[in-house]
Structure 1
Amino acid sequence: MGKGDRKTAKGKRFRHSFGKSRPKSKLRKRKRAEKLSKKIIRDKNA
């Protein structure tokens, strides 16, 4: 169980990937969605 193991969180961190053992942050997704929606609204008004 080391860096080469794709199923462990350590392996996911090494590969910079996400999955069941290393889920993406929901807060980070929400912040990014808000940022993109503000940008889209700003572009429509321009």
Structure 2
Amino acid sequence: MGKGDKKTKRGKINRGTFGARRPRIKKKPSLESKISIDKKAIPN
């Protein structure tokens, strides 16, 4: 178990691949994308 092992986290880092042991980190959507700047609140 080490750098050459395909199934370990260290092995995934060494090979530069992703999998169940080392999933890709998904980027969180920014606040700007959640709040639409184009749409303005309509006053009642």
Partner residue, 1:16: 16
Offset at residue 27 of structure 1 (A): 1.1
Identity across matched positions, percent:
50
Structure 1 residue runs without a partner (length 5+): 32-46
Give distance in 1, aligned partners of 2:27 and 2:20.
17
Q: RMSD over aligned Cα, in angstroms?
A: 2.2
Larger Rg: 2
1:1-46 to 2 correspondences below 5 Å: 1-27=1-27
Higher helix share: 1
- Name the aligned partner's letter for residue 8 of structure 1: T
**Number of residues paired by the alignment?**
31
Structure 1 outlier segments of 4+, above 2 Å: none
